Amino acid sequence: MTQATQVTSASDGRRLTLRRGVALLGSLAAVSALVTVAGPGYLWPLFLFPLVLAAVFFFELGSLAVTVWLGNFFVLYYSFAAAPTPDIVRQALLGTALFLVAGLLLGRIQRGHRDVQRDLAASTLTDRLTGLYNYGTFVDYLHNEVTKVDRYGGELSLLMLDLDHFKQFNDRHGHEAGNALLRRVGATLRGAVRDADIAARYGGEEFAVLIRGDETHGYELAERLRRAVETVAVEARGGEVSCTISAGVASYPDGAADETQLVERADDALYESKRRGRNRVTICTGAAERQPASLSA
């Protein structure tokens, strides 16, 4: 998630919290006014409505706040009314206690539901094995970023990376070792990209990284990733094993006409790295690929 998206989400979250707080306070005020005018009698269970709102909106903390409000309401009401009888005192204490237990239980249930929904939402955006964004999320993000460049200007660089000889790695060391390697590579990519960039598992053993910057920035990042992956090792039959990656870099708008061509150009550069012997980075600039001498490893 980009920094801009995080700021927007935080701002939206604050506005939503404010609206929920206003709704809760409004319901409490309305119920309190009604019960005050009509007398507690059998109307005090109307506080169930703000209690449920508090549990849904603010979980256990909200339920506790409503219960405190209810207790203080009873104290204040009977302070200005006739002296309460023992039965009324018992009813008030019992009602407050029941509200507290029910509210805390509702809040806990709602928090668990929220956590499940959050996990489900995250699972639709990320790849379960590597923890990177998945293909669908990447495609949406790429489209949005290309649209921003078209509208506001700037440059994008796309890095396509592929583990070298991964099929042979799996055949030799087993799929569990292969999965462990994919997880470690995913963690390496996550740790190397900025908040404003995105790293995704494009498919199989292929990864994609989209950054803001020209092809030089893309090449420098791809080289750092290539060197970092060289140091990644996982346990397998016979000891620790490692792997290398090949990478291709393409830029937009200088090196591609649209997002589809940007992916194609980066992919072409990736396979040029494979053709040249693997474990290297190639830049695609328009119709021809090159690896500048000033930037080569």
Cα atoms in the Cβ-side hemisphere of radius 13 Å centred on 57: 24
Instruction: Please state, as a whole number, how many other Cβ atoms lie within 10 Å of the Cβ of residue 125.
Output: 16
Residue of 60, 176, 205, 215 with catalytic role: 205
E strands, the chain, in order = 156-163, 198-203, 206-212, 233-236, 239-242, 245-252, 281-285, 288-290
CA dist 17 → 121, 164, 185, 281 (Å)? 20, 49, 38, 47
**pLDDT at residue 120, as a whole number:** 61
Three-point CA angle 206, 211, 215, nearest 5°: 90
Q: Distance between CA 248 and CA 246 in Å, rounded?
A: 7
- For CA atoms 112, 115, 121, 124, the dihedral sign is negative
Q: 198-203 and 206-212 as β-strands: parallel, antiparallel, unpaired?
A: antiparallel
> Per DSSP, what are the bridge partners of residue 210?
158, 198
Q: Distance between CA 172 and CA 160 in Å, rounded?
A: 25
Residues 188 and 225: beta-carbon distance below 8 Å: yes
Provide block-wise average pLDDT over 10 residues at a time, the chain (297 residues).
44 79 88 80 77 85 83 73 67 74 80 72 78 92 94 95 94 91 94 89 95 93 95 86 95 94 96 95 66 38
Question: Tokens in use for 97?
Answer: 């206690």
Q: Distance between CA 223 and CA 279 in Å, rounded?
A: 10
SS3 280: coil
Tokens 């668990």 label which residue? 112
Amino acid symbol at 181: L
Which CATH code is given to the segment(s) 135-290?
Answer: 3.30.70.270
Domain boundaries, the chain: 3-125, 135-290
Residues 199 and 191: beta-carbon distance below 8 Å: no
Does the annotation mark 215 as catalytic?
no
Q: Distance between CA 245 and CA 162 in Å, rounded?
A: 5
